[in-house]
Amino acid sequence: MVGAGWSCGAALEVVGARGGGRRAKMGEQREAGGGCGGGQRSELPKEVSLIKASPENIRMTIDSSSVSGKTVCVTGAGGFIASWLVKLLLQKGYTVIGTVRNPDDAKNSHLKELEGAKERLVLCKADLLDYESLLKAIWGCDGVFHTASPVTDDPEQMVEPAINGTKYIINAAAAAGVRRVVFTSTVGAIYMDPNRSPDVIVDESYWSDLEFCKNTKNWYCYAKTVAEKAAWEMARERGVNLVVVNPVLVLGPLLQPTVNASIVHIQKYLTGSTKTYANSIQAYVHVKDVALAHLLVYETPSASGRYLCAESVLHRGDVVEILAKFFPEYPIPTKCKDEVKPRVKPYKFSNKKVKNLGLELTPVNQCLYETVKSLQEKGHLPLPSN
């Protein structure tokens, strides 16, 4: 059997052979794992134009036995969650079309080293605000995992890409006739509500208060909430099978070479850059569990709606206490920045829905430990001197 996917140059490309057979390609052949961004590009022949042809006509040009149920697209493939998702998908035998801004960028090189990447991974150059680039990446895929999103509280960089990019993905998925779209949202689209009682058990039925997000200038939560609502509305209009994963703050080992925002949250307590911890709380989950949740909701036919993915809620004081026990050699803060107000209490949440899929969540202590060990191994945190 031969895996195949659309290149972002709009040419059909062989990305690996698994059964000794070989299928003809359209356009220029490129090395598997090398991506769609390099090499000479070729345009789609007019008879299979992505703009004019129907999904049915396009699929007639593809060996359906090698694509149906096996080829998926992961947007923002080089990201923290996405990298783990690509890793798991490749391990399961999927052919993965991963979209990135630049396939030749060194920050995406870790993807090409994953097991199965040489045979079944294609990196495509695509942009969240370029509909055609997204459509070309998705075309011919059975499913889409939309993980790509800015992570910033700069409204100009956050709002438009998150919202319009998600709309483009749903439209492209509808045009391509994919089986299911899994959208990576956030707990930030669920729990941001100052009027919620502390006794309430937060679950998938809750939505963040958009006015509160705007008033507090939390543009990340604002954009992700609007983006998720837009995704649900558009999915209903276009007949797209959509499932959403809402992870809390994600920790665990890095696959990518750079440090992402959620890991900085822990790193700062070990470098001496912060002398106190905040009187605040945070929910945590392991990155591999989040990736598994995406895979489970994709592969479980009965999966529907939203899935809150969280293991524990800790006060920052609990976090630094755990870190100090594991890594006493680092200058971990011991004093709270706000010692006047009462200690903030963790909110209650339900992760029953995602657990019912069979997901076993990694304890938060292990998440913290593995995060720090990964920072050491990647050279982002100096090893303690003996």
Domain edges within the chain: 249-288+306-341+363-386
**What confidence score (pLDDT) does residue 46 get?**
32
**What confidence score (pLDDT) does residue 198 get?**
84
Rounded to whole angstroms, the Cα distance separating 30 from 170 reads 28
**What confidence score (pLDDT) does residue 218 get?**
94
Q: What type of residue sits at position 92?
A: K
Return the number of other C-beta atoms located less than 10 Å from residue 328's C-beta.
9
Rounded to whole angstroms, the Cα distance separating 246 from 252 reads 17
Alpha-carbon radius of gyration of the chain: 22
CA distances from 377 to 25, 104, 370, 371 (A): 41, 24, 10, 10
**What confidence score (pLDDT) does residue 209 get?**
97
pLDDT tens, position by position, for the chain (386 residues)? 333 333 333 222 223 322 332 222 323 333 344 445 333 223 333 332 333 233 333 332 333 333 334 899 999 999 999 999 999 999 999 999 999 999 999 999 999 999 999 999 999 999 999 999 999 999 999 999 999 998 888 888 899 999 999 999 999 999 999 999 999 999 999 999 999 988 899 999 999 999 999 999 999 999 999 999 999 999 999 999 999 999 999 999 999 999 999 999 999 999 999 999 999 999 999 999 999 999 999 999 999 999 999 999 999 999 999 999 999 999 999 999 998 899 999 999 999 999 999 999 999 999 999 999 999 999 999 988 75
Q: Identify whether 224 is a catalytic site residue.
A: yes
The one catalytic residue in 70, 87, 136, 224 is 224
**What confidence score (pLDDT) does residue 12 get?**
26
Q: What are phi and psi of 226, to 5 degrees?
A: -65, -40
